[in-house]
Amino acid sequence: MKSRKLGNQGLAVSGLGLGCMGLSFGYGQATDKREAVKLIRKAYELGITFFDTAEIYGPFLNEEVVGEAIAPFRSEVVVATKFGFNYVDEKPAGLNSKPEYIRRRVEGSLKRLKVEAIDLLYQHRVDPQVPIEDVAGTVKELIQEGKVNYFGLSEASANTIRKAHAIQPVSAVQSEYSLWWREPETKIFPTLAELGIGFVPFSPLGKGFLTGKIDENTRFKPTDFRSTVPRLSPENIHANLIFVDFLKRIAERKNATPAQIALAWLNAQKPWIVPIPGTTKMNRLEENVGSTRIEFTKEELQEIETEASNIIAQGDRYSEGSAKMIDR
């Protein structure tokens, strides 16, 4: 698999990463640890060298799984994790990016991941109570101490990105981005291009919707976070299936699947974009990796652009509570 550069500081990763969250968190019961380790190691065999986790996934369990899985090839992969949530009795309780708290959280992540340094450390959500300059300054110190290699932000606004970057260069910004959520193109891409910062789209398959495996009869269990996503309510799924229909038409012509078209489209947008689709299934993992072999002509990209711009997605991408934590 070809590699891509995230930012101007020299961080090189595989052109497709693996979002590990769903193995331990968000979609109901966690995957058996042995199976999760097996899947991450299979991803490495298929050429993926970029693995994304966070302490809140579990909480804590996902970092342990990733740490165990990557141990045999630690020096050949890039591991990203995140801080930014407060914990009371080991349960998430609001945001906390106070400098001394960041240091405590990083020590925990280092132990769980069994690494000497975190390759890419993101602030998971911007804490309005702590100046971003203080956050960036703390990460800068951690980099100087050899505990972190690169700095990232998640769901941050252009203004926040600029302020942070002035203190400690930001290598990557993570946000939701896919054919049916394109706000980053206008809100932060110009800033990323100007400052030389890479972009890591999460939910590149629309939380599974763009694979074509979800329809109006799909019902999510209460333990599946998608049950709270307005865009994935039964009535909105029905309205949004027009997206999947158009992806299926393109996929048929390219001898591919809708998921592969959605991922290949993302990689075709900018050379500094690296999507991190997640999965718990080996066959889906292989399918996602297959997207890196798909190339579009200019005409095909224009056709996708024209068709997609005529479709308006129905429903918000986050519940009201989750939306409040997005930095605007």
> Which residue type does 300 have?
E
Identify residue 35 by its one-letter amino acid code: E
Burial 12-30 (b: 16+ CB within 10 A, else e): ebbbbbbbbbbbbbbbeeb
CB 43 within 8 A of CB 35: no
The letter for the amino acid at 288 is N
The residue whose two tokens read 């109006």 is 216
Give the whole-angstrom CA distance, residue 205 versus residue 328: 23
Rounded Cα–Cα distance for residues 27 and 304 (Å): 30
CB of 185 within 8 A of CB of 157?
A: no
Q: How many CB atoms lie within 10 A of CB 137?
A: 15
Q: Is 177 a catalytic residue?
A: no
Which is catalytic among the residues 57, 87, 101, 150? 57
- Nearest-angstrom CA–CA distance, 205 and 259: 7
Q: Write out the DSSP string of 204-265.
A: TTTTTGGGT---TT----TTBGGGG-GGGSHHHHHHHHHHHHHHHHHHHHHTS-HHHHHHHH
Which of 94, 298, 266, 245 is CA-nearest to residue 175?
266
Closest CA to 43 of 60, 65, 61, 20: 20
Residues with a catalytic annotation lie at 57
